[in-house]
Structure 1
Amino acid sequence: MKKLTLSMIAAVLTSTFTMAHADTLRMECPSTPGGKEYCKYVKNRFEAAHPGNTLQFIDLPPASDEKLALLQQLFASNDENAVDLFQSDTVWIGLLDKHTLDLTDHVADIKKDFFPGAWQNDMVNGRVKAVPSYLDAGALYYRKDLLEKYNEKPPATWEDLTRIATRIQKAERDAGHSNFWGLIFQGKSYEGLTCNALEWIDSHNGGSFIDSDGKVTINNPQAAKALDMAAAWIGKIAPPGVLGYKEEESRAVFQNGDALFMRNWPYAYVLSQGDDSALKGKVGVMSLPKGEGGKSVSALGGWQWSINAATKHPETAIALLRMVSDTESQKMAQKLLGYSPTRVALYDDKEVLGRAPYLAEFKQIFADAAPRPATQTKGQYARVSNAIYNATFDVLRGRTDGKKAVAALQQRLNRIKGKQWH
């Protein structure tokens, strides 16, 4: 019988230890083009850095509402094997608070590397419950060629925008472009209108409907003024049909050359510069205008990395989250998936800007991003947003004015809250 050496015994013990402590993690794989290639990169890198551990992938529904419904079912069943690491929508962090791992003590050292608004969005009651994965935020698109033609500069304020849009709209129509409009935005009664309303109101120092402590703050003169401003656009510089526009309807009008300004998300810039776009090379993008005495505000969108609170392997899951959140992984996600990074430094990175030079234009836009009042309102956010966009819609279509709308909305939101948000 072969005699065991000390080195052989050590090898056996090491192998046994590794197998005993080997973890199998399950991570959501993006369903978008490039997702499989990105997940292969993550798997190879993670398993090389953590020998003995295995990374598997699951597919979740691409539609946000379907994905949330499935996640809630999984959490209700306490299925610890369902998923370890997944992406949460910006407005889910408060809703999923009880089902996601507290990351506060594990990510404090990287907080400074991320855009502040995105990081703040992922905190519930002072605890970090997710880490920003990729960003979205409202932006103002404009026709560079037309501003140059009429010797105008991009608007710094909403007042500037209204004046410039009125002037150029008239001039273009007088020149024969009869269906030309000054401004396009998302005016349909849905979540997108909540985002627009937040931008108008907060940029006028009217607050964000509900403050970070959960107090309803919408009933104020600045908020009323902002809503009245937007209502005055309808039929003058914005088409009456804007009350039925979502993102794609807005983009279609703008990209067809029938509008001077458009509020939309970053995806619209990439499409406007496509080879099939009539506006290629003619579109500029900037932070949204500010209100009188206010600041530029962009509604925050995007997705966040979250860990299932029921995971059997919290330490390994945290290591995976930190890896997919680091600089190298975010650069790969931008390359393969087109994701806008959440790390501020990558907006000055030569490799990133070499692939996507337009991202330089979005650095300030993402810095201006403000979260919707979702985290603090938790499971009641859907009702909160519904109240906000319906109240805003009533002002836009002339059924009420700003002052009456914000007073009624204050009462409505307080009724939804009851004693506390839950």
Structure 2
Amino acid sequence: MRLNNLRKTKHPLMTSLLLGAAALGAQPSLATEIAIACGSGDAADYCPTVAKEWAEKTGNDVKVVSTPNATTEKLSLFQQLLNSQSSDVDVMMIDIVWPGMLAKHLIDLSQYLPEDASEGFFPELIDNNTVDGRLVAMPWYTDAGMLYYRTDLLEKHGHAVPETWEELTRIATQVQAAERQAGNEDFWGYSFQGRAYEGLTTNALEWIASHGGGTIIDSDGKVTIDNPQAAKALDRAAAWIGTISPEGTLNHTEEKTRGIFQSGNALFLRNWPYVWALANGEGSEVAGKIGMAPLPHGPNGESAATLGGWNFAVSRYSEHPELAAELVEYITARDQQKDHALAMGMNPTIESLYQDEEVLDRNPAMSDLYETLTHGVTRPATVTGDAYARVSNAFFNATHRVLSGDLEGAAAVAQLQSQLERLGRRAW
């Protein structure tokens, strides 16, 4: 590593992480080294594999930089690196809501990649990664909010999969009562992420967008949250707390809600696609008894799923931007995305892979996911740039107050409108 540069940064966490990087695909002689910061979990397992393939094919070296598991800590590390204009990391794996925050520190990939490089990807993801006309990241894998349900219990009690939030509420109420009467006092109708954090932003955006209430802030930067549809969506969700959803929902995150559903104590669950394999895995109480469908919608809206996922970007302080961009192009290409889907079950960002027989044979649920992804909703991160964290914080805190019974929906969206407009005048 470039030790002199590291000493200049004076960031102990950064120094220890970079010094702990593992070299892959090492080549002798005059090979150029590209440092890549992969993700964690499945992403960390596979990103180095593909990077090593590229190194072996091109005769270059790659160095995989260790990063924290927690998303907020990872973002903090990247911001330290970029703000110090460090050249120690060339390629970074970034969250879907980071392009706007980091854009000024990232190269325009369209200046280095072929003109058709973005063709075939979900347009919403390319748009999300385009800031002020600059393509600052290429999509790697994606996620979207989904509705999980117990197929056995819907059949037992004579119900179809709900298409509207009203239907979900009614069915959840009836089945919950019946299952409790049958002896399961811990059974609930609906489990979702209600803690005051980014996960609540994704849930509440789905409620509001599916009621025709917009996306908090539109693509032009105009705050749109104060409308009757948004207020109604929040009030509906608040009515679930203590009725079809436990009071503890106010502190539930993804894994807690998965645990409730996977232990057999919920009829419906809102979560990400990763749950499918786990809920059908060995030791799961509901294995072979679950289905996955698009989230419900309001009376005058359409199903809306908040998009998640990760992307690859190149630091503008890289000493080798051309090679770094070439590595990004290689990792996110169709063949590598297919391998990622086959090996790890991760959801591709290239549309045609959802019709690939080999991919679908290995991951049957992807055929159901495709329709949801084509109607995915992005958080207003790109348009708000550096201010997104404050926007999301204001949104999920206001939503949490409604869920907690401290505010009515109409009052919450009116207050939020004023708060975000003030923030927008200063920040975007």
TM-score normalized by structure 2?
0.88
- Aligned: 1:94 with 2:103: no
2:365 corresponds to: 358
By how many angstroms is 1:128 displaced?
1.6
Q: Deviations over 1:335-367 (max 9, x none)?
A: 344422111111221222232222222112222
- Aligned: 1:318 with 2:317: no
Deviates more, 1:31-40 or 1:309-318: 31-40
1:400 corresponds to: 407
Any unmatched runs of 5+ in structure 1?
A: 1-18
By how many angstroms is 1:153 displaced?
1.1
Which of these residues, 111, 118, 122, is aligned with residue 115 of structure 1? 122
1:93–1:124 CA contact under 8 A, matched in 2: yes
Give the 3 Å change call, closer, same or farther, for CA 40–198 of structure 1 in structure 2. closer
Give the 3 Å change call, closer, same or farther, for CA 95–148 of structure 1 in structure 2. same
By how many angstroms is 1:22 displaced?
5.4
Give the 3 Å change call, closer, same or farther, for CA 188–125 of structure 1 in structure 2. same
3-state SS of paired residue (2:309)? strand
CA distance in structure 2 between the partners assigned to 1:40 and 1:259 by the alignment: 38
1:139–1:288 CA contact under 8 A, matched in 2: yes
Map of 1:19-418 to 2, 5 A cutoff? 23-32=32-41, 35=44, 38-48=47-57, 51-80=58-87, 82-105=88-111, 106=113, 108-418=115-425
By how many angstroms is 1:309 displaced?
1.1
Q: Deviations over 1:165-213 (max 9, x none)?
A: 1221122222222222111101111111111110000111111111111
1:38–1:332 CA contact under 8 A, matched in 2: no
1:5 corresponds to: none
By how many angstroms is 1:369 displaced?
1.7
CA distance in structure 2 between the partners assigned to 1:199 and 1:21 by the alignment: 51
CA distance in structure 2 between the partners assigned to 1:264 and 1:321 by the alignment: 29
2:20 corresponds to: none
By how many angstroms is 1:38 displaced?
5.0
By how many angstroms is 1:112 displaced?
3.5
Give the 3 Å change call, closer, same or farther, for CA 374–29 of structure 1 in structure 2. closer
Q: What amino acid is the match of 2:84?
A: S
CA distance in structure 1 between the partners assigned to 2:70 and 2:342 by the alignment: 23
CA distance in structure 2 between the partners assigned to 1:56 and 1:342 by the alignment: 25
2:386–2:427 CA contact under 8 A, matched in 1: no
CA distance in structure 1 between the partners assigned to 2:195 and 2:49 by the alignment: 40
Q: What amino acid is the match of 2:371?
A: Q
By how many angstroms is 1:46 displaced?
4.2
CA distance in structure 2 between the partners assigned to 1:130 and 1:279 by the alignment: 38
By how many angstroms is 1:37 displaced?
6.1
TM-score normalized by structure 1?
0.90
Q: Which has the larger radius of gyration?
A: 1
Any unmatched runs of 5+ in structure 2?
A: 1-27
CA distance in structure 2 between the partners assigned to 1:150 and 1:285 by the alignment: 18
3-state SS of paired residue (2:119)? helix
By how many angstroms is 1:314 displaced?
2.0
1:94–1:377 CA contact under 8 A, matched in 2: yes
3-state SS of paired residue (2:183)? coil
CA distance in structure 1 between the partners assigned to 2:130 and 2:46 by the alignment: 31
CA distance in structure 2 between the partners assigned to 1:44 and 1:188 by the alignment: 41
2:212–2:301 CA contact under 8 A, matched in 1: yes
CA distance in structure 1 between the partners assigned to 2:161 and 2:177 by the alignment: 18
By how many angstroms is 1:228 displaced?
0.9
Identity of aligned pairs, percent? Answer: 47
CA distance in structure 2 between the partners assigned to 1:307 and 1:63 by the alignment: 21
Give the 3 Å change call, closer, same or farther, for CA 175–387 of structure 1 in structure 2. same
Give the 3 Å change call, closer, same or farther, for CA 376–167 of structure 1 in structure 2. same
2:54–2:327 CA contact under 8 A, matched in 1: no
Q: Deviations over 1:79-127 (max 9, x none)?
A: 22x1111110111110001111112353651433112222222121232
2:210–2:302 CA contact under 8 A, matched in 1: yes
3-state SS of paired residue (2:97)? helix
3-state SS of paired residue (2:382)? coil
Q: What amino acid is the match of 1:296?
A: S
3-state SS of paired residue (2:359)? helix
3-state SS of paired residue (1:95)? helix
Q: Deviations over 1:297-318 (max 9, x none)?
A: 1111111111111122222222
Q: What amino acid is the match of 2:98?
A: W
By how many angstroms is 1:385 displaced?
0.9
Deviates more, 1:234-243 or 1:55-64: 55-64
3-state SS of paired residue (1:104)? helix
CA distance in structure 2 between the partners assigned to 1:416 and 1:37 by the alignment: 39
Q: What amino acid is the match of 1:23?
A: T
Give the 3 Å change call, closer, same or farther, for CA 31–239 of structure 1 in structure 2. closer
Deviates more, 1:190-199 or 1:240-249: 240-249
Give the 3 Å change call, closer, same or farther, for CA 34–300 of structure 1 in structure 2. closer
Q: What amino acid is the match of 2:108?
A: D
1:136–1:340 CA contact under 8 A, matched in 2: yes
By how many angstroms is 1:36 displaced?
5.4
